[in-house]
Amino acid sequence: MLTLWDLQKTRLACCALLMVVFALGGCSSQLADMTAADTAAHPKEPGAYLPVHDLPPDRDQAIIPLDQRVKIEAELAAARDRQAVAAKDAK
């Protein structure tokens, strides 16, 4: 008669074996369905490297005009100062 310890080891071994069977079965079904026509053809010439150092030409004008940029920077600085005061008062 099997003891409790032997029964637990048997169940663990069966579960491990079942997991391996399912894992290998999933892999083999994908490989079995593949034919030579499904495989990608290799290019005859290897592709060139991407041009990582080619940069777009410099712009002639600024993205944001200078007067608007100064106004935005002043608004951001004022908002930062207000938040610093509010944070100091909250402590």
40-68 per-position pLDDT tens digit: 666 667 667 767 788 878 888 768 888 99
pLDDT score at 70: 95
The 3-state DSSP class for residue 91 equals: coil
Is a pLDDT exceeding 70 seen at residue 72? Answer: yes
User: Are 9 and 17 in contact, with CB atoms under 8 Å apart?
Assistant: no
Kindly report the pTM of this predicted structure. Answer: 0.34
Query: Average pLDDT in the 15-41 region?
Result: 71
Q: How far is CA 86 from the centre of its chain?
A: 38
Question: What residue has token string 């007067």?
Answer: 67
The string of DSSP letters for 38-88 reads TSPPPPSSPPPPP-TT--PPPPSS-SS-HHHHHHHHHHHHHHHHHHHHHHH
